[in-house]
Structure 1
């Protein structure tokens, strides 16, 4: 069983706090994604799990065993790095085989174990090539093969797709999801890309400034963000956020007015709604303002207004056309609006 627990884990360098009170229980075989901007503490958290960084306070447990003081090689964890970390003078076969040699796995078992991994990452035709002869996607598959060859208890993946182009990211993402499903190994995956998080994860941990902002399934985090940071980080485009005031169920902001909201909330409020949940209309609506930009996305068009200091976008059908500067109206149903405290950013009410 590969249940992984982090109990009130902290990481400090002098007065600088990298990770603060990280408390999480990761289930056996779960695919967990740590998501957040650069510098939020996600890679530091992964490096503490791997044993590459010491824990300042708290405990990390693998199964029932506290592993804080164990060397990385004794934790039965495999890690895939952003930079691949391949040996340039070794073939694909020998790169994948290398962990078996280091761990002194009996030599007679090597070929079967390596070939199993090679087949899983679909590199049978490239076994005798060296890394310089491979594409970026193929090198990443070698790194994956090397990680899975010895059947570790936990996989750690630190932004493994960030060096790939957009097309390769999509195909390699699908392969990672498929591999994890077949291998049934607990996986912790670090990324700053919310699309990767939404498509890969069983659960997502959104981090900022060293702290957990929200933990949940991709659907929970997308539909019910805990604060304005999560709302602005998840989604493509991110949730629209407009500051204003709420009184007697009526929200009023610059260029926007929405009625029918909760009457038990009042004061300075940030209104949030998703681009796909509102609609362009002909008559009077909640927004009536000049178009700031229009973008054809392929499957839809995106209309954007500037309302005060905020850019607000709504998706509409791909045939829709409007000129920049033309006044366009939009309707925002009150039941899809999220309300956040403008000062703290915490959610007050969900639509």
Structure 2
């Protein structure tokens, strides 16, 4: 049983608050991703779970034990870092085996456990090599195998893919997801990459400035962001956000007017996703403006225009061709729109205007 409970956990250094009142239960075998920009508190949260940082307030419970006063070695967690942390003088076999020697595991079981871990990450043919002879992706797989061989209660992964190139990130991401499924170990994964979060997580915790902004499945967070921070952080591209004012059901901003918005009169921030809007024929859309930029993505063409005081993106079909400066019209049905309070950033219920907690 490896349920983890963070009970109103905070971390402060003097007057600086790194993490504020983090309160969450992570289910046994769950893959939880802590997501947010640099400095948001996600790595600090992980380090408190690992025992590398002391919590200023609150309890950290792993299984049925409060672990606040336990040393890292006694918490039964295995960490995989952004820097691989391999011993350059040891070959791959010895690097993977090292945690077993340190923990004084029965030497008779070492070979079987090392080979099993190496096989899981497809390293069996590299066991005799030193880290300097490996690629970045192979070194990261050694670090994964070293964590696996421990057979820990919890995996903690701190931006393990950041040093890999784009192609390796995709393949290693798939490997991590498959490993977690096979091993059935509770995993907490830190990243600033929202694509990693959306593809790996059972649930995502979005953080900003030490505060949890939203917790939910990737689908919940993508479809119903709790506030403008989450809306502007999740998605590639992020949600289009435009400031304006609603009057009698019509949103008006700079170069944009959308009827049928069921929100209370007053200033709001309106959002919609690029893939939910379409190009309209003959200037029939709610935004008509010259093209600011074009990006060919392979499966689609991304078009950006300036409207509502912001850059607004829409996805067109991959065969669409135009030039920068050509005028396009974007159709934005009111049903695809999200409405947020301009001052607080909190999401409004589009049907009633009530804030969503």
Whether TM-score is above 0.5 comes out as yes
Q: Distance in 2 between matches of 1:273 and 1:241?
A: 7
Aligned to 1:251: 251
Aligned to 2:314, the other structure's residue is in SS state strand
Cα drift, residue 11 of structure 1: 0.2
Asked if 1:276 corresponds to 2:275, the answer is: yes
Q: Distance in 2 between matches of 1:143 and 1:15?
A: 36
Q: Distance in 2 between matches of 1:224 and 1:67?
A: 35
Aligned to 1:309: 309
Q: Distance in 2 between matches of 1:54 and 1:350?
A: 42
RMSD: 0.8
Query: Where in structure 2 are the equivalents of 1:1-351 lying within 5 Å?
Result: 1-262=1-262, 264-283=263-282, 284-349=284-349
Cα drift, residue 150 of structure 1: 1.8
Q: Distance in 2 between matches of 1:194 and 1:106?
A: 41
Q: Does the 8 A contact of 1:224 with 1:350 survive in 2?
A: no
Q: Does the 8 A contact of 2:272 with 2:337 survive in 1?
A: yes
CA displacement 1:28-71 (0-9 Å, x = unmatched):
00000000000000000000000000010000000111000000
Q: Does the 8 A contact of 2:277 with 2:331 survive in 1?
A: yes
Q: Distance in 1 between matches of 2:151 and 2:28?
A: 14
Cα drift, residue 350 of structure 1: 5.0
Cα drift, residue 248 of structure 1: 1.0
CA displacement 1:228-257 (0-9 Å, x = unmatched):
000000000000000000011100001111
Cα drift, residue 114 of structure 1: 0.6
Q: Distance in 1 between matches of 2:14 and 2:261?
A: 47
Q: TM-score, normalised by structure 1?
A: 0.99
Q: Distance in 2 between matches of 1:350 and 1:116?
A: 53
Q: Does the 8 A contact of 2:287 with 2:307 survive in 1?
A: no
Q: Distance in 1 between matches of 2:20 and 2:180?
A: 29
Q: Distance in 2 between matches of 1:275 and 1:307?
A: 14
Q: Does the 8 A contact of 2:290 with 2:327 survive in 1?
A: yes
Unaligned runs of 5+ in 1: none
CA displacement 1:270-294 (0-9 Å, x = unmatched):
1100000000011321001111111
Unaligned runs of 5+ in 2: 352-357
Q: Distance in 2 between matches of 1:285 and 1:168?
A: 41
Q: Distance in 1 between matches of 2:29 and 2:308?
A: 47
Q: Distance in 1 between matches of 2:121 and 2:211?
A: 35
Cα drift, residue 83 of structure 1: 0.1
Cα drift, residue 110 of structure 1: 0.5
Cα drift, residue 326 of structure 1: 1.4
Moved over 3 A (4+): none
Give the aligned length: 350
Aligned to 1:292, the other structure's residue is in SS state strand
